[in-house]
Amino acid sequence: MKRTIHRIRAILNTFFLVLLAALVAQSVLAMDVTLDIEPQVLQLGEAAVARITLHDAPNAPPPRLPALSGFNIDSLGREQSYSIVNGKQSSQVSYTFRLTPLAAGDFQIGPFQYDTGSGLINIPAVALQVLARGEPAAGGSAQNWDDLMFAAVTVNSPTIYAHQAFDLVLSLYTQPGLNLDRNISLSNFDTTGLTLSPFEELPPSRESVSGKLYEVRRFRTRALAIASGNFALSPNLQVNLIVQDGNRSRRNDPFADSFFQGFFSRVETRPQTVECRPFTLQIHELPSDGRPPSFSGAVGQYSFDVTAAPLQLKVGDPITLTLRIQGRGNMDAISAPIVTVPDNFRSYDARLIEQQPNAGLKVFEQVLIPRDGSASEIPAVSFSYFDPTRERYETIVRGPFPLALSATASAGTASVIQSPGSPAPAAPAPLGHDLVYLKRAPDHWHMRTPETAQTRTIRIAVNTVPALAILLAFGYARRRERSERNPLELLRRRAPRSARAALSRSEAFLKEGDIHSAAQALSDALNRFFGPLLDLPPGRISSDEICHRMKANGLPEAQCTSLHDVFSVCERLRYSGPGAAGSTAEAKQELERITQQFMELLPACQRVAR
């Protein structure tokens, strides 16, 4: 019993030791250590920062950089961070060092090994380039601009063919100390023969060109060559230089002190055009030699896969062929590979079912239906493309796909023995959807006729009559509102009509021979006309007053006399009483005369009063 317990204990101890060793080994294997140095190109007097990052090794001993001649190495400290992503915890410890160069030249840190305490990890080498510091320029303008700042166009492929997609990179090189704002625009970029996608900026970097240090900003676009030939690319970059405003007068400036200048110094931007170094893009025509028949314009590197399902089926059942093309190239130009099937297949057009431009994926689906049992296999499907790297056509063939066909129930060998006289079996009616049957003739046919003058008139009338009605209604309403606001104006406007009504009454009395009433009506007409016209109360309407005002308003002398005559005769006939003014015939004639005179004077008086 004791021996058994001892044996079990030994087994358990062994198991735990193995488990512990496995865990340690796993932790060493899982540990990831990276060395990163920025910048990798620097000048004397500048310092680079090296960062060793330990992933998922919180208890590992601090790493050390190997001694490097020509550099002072100082430790800057340690940073630790934790993160939990999808429930999985990870830790990261970074050790940073300052690398101060003591001499110019090319250097290399590493490779070296880091002892984690549980194993050694190899850290690859990192190259450093230290440039001698140049003489400071006397001023920006005194130095050659091409040395301070230049731009270049590059492509990522040594040989470019028509229909090839490639990366075109615009690089802007500026010497350190030259400040540019973030806005950069492109001009004079002739993109004949190319189709470009929008530019994206890549992370900035440093480069040494002809022994000089440059800050480099790169802009990349995905270009597609749409025609062959030589194309000169020499775009201009419009940049904005940030410079201190040195012209500002500070004679009376109370803050013209070096202390305040740090706070109050002004900067301004100056636009500058940077011409790209000339670059000729040579786009070759796709070779005609060796062009496979299945080539349909794909240029790039692709993989091609075909699946067919189901492969065991009955005659008449559909087979779905899935054609999957994935890769890097001119994906937009890729169409479905042609599946050539014999006559014992019914074939439908392939359709695009999935497209992921970023992943460079296109998936097509094509349906094939075996018509009879002789269809033993789906022929091989080929996809051809031109590989610009290998500079040759490639063809990927998938298939053939053998089929296991079984006959349909209706095509079986069994037959029904039909008794004479029995009705013939009805043709099997197709189940499912079908086209809706034709429509009956319409009750009203509509003829397409050009617009005639008549229909045009009606159309214009239909559209304009309501507008005219609205205008008239608004005009009328406005006039009415104006009258309501100014009753005198209303009376003045109505005065001629009112006077004419009174004159009509006067004429009626005159026909009846009632001279007195006719004169009274004429007087009423004069009052109704001149009262509102000259804004006079009834008591102030007299021949003198009216004539005076009319004369002042510009009525001719002769008409004033005539008007005076009308008033005086009217007054005389009105107040003389019946039979007192001579014979009735004379009075009637006189009244008719002054009525006529008044009728003639009405328009002139109205015009003058207005």
Q: Return residues touching other proteins (CB under 8 A).
A: 162-163, 195, 224, 226, 297, 330, 332-333, 335-336, 348-349, 351-352, 365, 367, 433-442, 445-449, 452, 454-455, 458, 462-463, 465-467, 469-470, 472-474, 476-477
Contacts 24+ apart (CB under 8 A), 308-311: 308/378, 308/399, 308/401, 311/401, 311/402, 311/403, 311/404
Residue 51 in contact with residue 35, Cβ under 8 Å?
Answer: yes
Angle between helices 543-553 and 515-534 (to 10 degrees): 40
Angle at 65 between CA 61 and CA 67, to 5 degrees: 135
CB of residue 390 to other proteins, shortest distance in Å = 22
Is the omega angle on the peptide bond into residue 466 within 30 degrees of 0, that is, cis? no
CB of residue 474 to other proteins, shortest distance in Å = 6
| Alpha helices per DSSP H over 486-514 | 487-512
Which residue, 349 or 544, has its beta carbon nearer to other proteins? 349
CA 601 to chain CA centroid, Å, is 75
Which residue, 257 or 481, has its beta carbon nearer to other proteins? 481
Containing 147, the helix (H) or strand (E) segment is helix 145-148
User: Which residues make Cβ contacts (< 8 Å) with residue 220, sequence separation at least 6?
Assistant: 167, 168, 169, 170, 199, 200, 201, 202
CB of residue 90 to other proteins, shortest distance in Å = 39
Which residue, 163 or 206, has its beta carbon nearer to other proteins? 163
Which residue, 455 or 504, has its beta carbon nearer to other proteins? 455
CB of residue 361 to other proteins, shortest distance in Å = 15
Which residue, 73 or 226, has its beta carbon nearer to other proteins? 226
Which residue, 237 or 283, has its beta carbon nearer to other proteins? 283
Which residue, 2 or 439, has its beta carbon nearer to other proteins? 439
CB of residue 297 to other proteins, shortest distance in Å = 6
Residue 334 in contact with residue 362, Cβ under 8 Å?
Answer: yes
What's the chain's length in residues?
610
CB of residue 440 to other proteins, shortest distance in Å = 7
Q: Which residue, 152, 361, 373, 133, is CA-closest to 277?
A: 152
CB of residue 439 to other proteins, shortest distance in Å = 4
CB of residue 486 to other proteins, shortest distance in Å = 18
CB of residue 140 to other proteins, shortest distance in Å = 44
Tally Cβ neighbours within 10 Å of residue 40.
17
Residue 301 in contact with residue 329, Cβ under 8 Å?
Answer: yes
Which residue, 15 or 474, has its beta carbon nearer to other proteins? 474
Which residue, 236 or 335, has its beta carbon nearer to other proteins? 335
Containing 6, the helix (H) or strand (E) segment is helix 2-30
Residue 566 in contact with residue 601, Cβ under 8 Å?
Answer: yes
